[in-house]
Amino acid sequence: MVASPHPLPSLHPLVWRGYGGLPLAASASSPEAPPAVLFAHGFGQTRQAWSRSMQQLAAQGIASAAWDMRGHGQSGRNAPGERYEVQQFIEDALAVRRALPAAPVLVGASMGGLVGLAAQARGAGFSALVLVDVTPKWELAGMQRILAFMGAHPEGFEDFEHAAREIAAYLPHRRSRKSPADLAHLLVRGEDGRLRWHWDPRLLQDLADSDRHQDELADAARRIEVPVLLVSGGRSDLVSAETIAHFRSLVPHAEHVCLPHATHMVAGDDNDAFTRSILSFLGHRPHAASSTGPLRGALP
């Protein structure tokens, strides 16, 4: 366990501007210190997926930040009639990077990792990349299972207990069921009183054909020269030995850590081991916390 003799620090809200001026809700472990680590969540998640790791890094003196991607959580949505495009997410990541006074390590899970990979190939200037259970090619069956779960409840949930039961069925390896507090950032109550996922349902339709970007992502991976760590789940059905071997052929200098008991939801399945892997990776290189200059963002 990543232990600290002191209570874990709180996180501070801020807002960045993404592509087209879209507001991107964010959190930082320090309102002043530039983040050494920048977290990007996966499809259907929010920045709160990283809260525990951010607090543990802060307890070790490492500043970090995370943002809700467009269409997710408290960030802005595309206007009615405006499709969600992969390029918008990449442009958002580039805008977030420009808001920072120093180059952080980008830690991205699933979609967040692919967005970070593509942004780095576009010259984002991250100091390193950590890809969390994602590679430029992925197992189709695993992707289909994820998308099926995300689209399974368009009518929403009766209450938090209903949602917790469905999540437990989807993640049967988890020992404990999600509490209402755990789910508060993932669900929002509609006018009909039912709880729905805290992301724009149009995302599922607009981005469902992401498989067509695999060749582009492979080309992006070939251009990555900064240090790279791949953290995979040993029980993942999205990343396999074959997709990992393909990735390492594209990025020969990449390091790889497998957390044997984790599924695709690596940080949620084994957060302490995941955070230890980040700390170990950071130990190989200086981090941006030594730089000066406040975060450029508006505190709400």
**Sign (positive or negative) of CA dihedral 49, 51, 56, 60:** positive
> Mean pLDDT score of the chain, rounded to an integer?
90
Q: At residue 174, does pLDDT exceed 90?
A: no
**pLDDT tens sequence across 225-264:** 999 999 999 999 999 999 999 999 999 999 999 999 999 9
Label residue 184 by pLDDT band (50, 70, 90): confident
Q: At residue 284, does pLDDT exceed 80?
A: no
Question: Which phi and psi (to 5°) does residue 28 adopt?
Answer: -130, 145
Entry pTM: 0.90
**pLDDT tens sequence across 71-109:** 999 999 999 999 999 999 999 999 999 999 999 999 999
Domains observed in the chain: 12-149+214-290 (3.40.50.1820), 155-200 (no CATH)
Q: At residue 4, does pLDDT exceed 90?
A: no
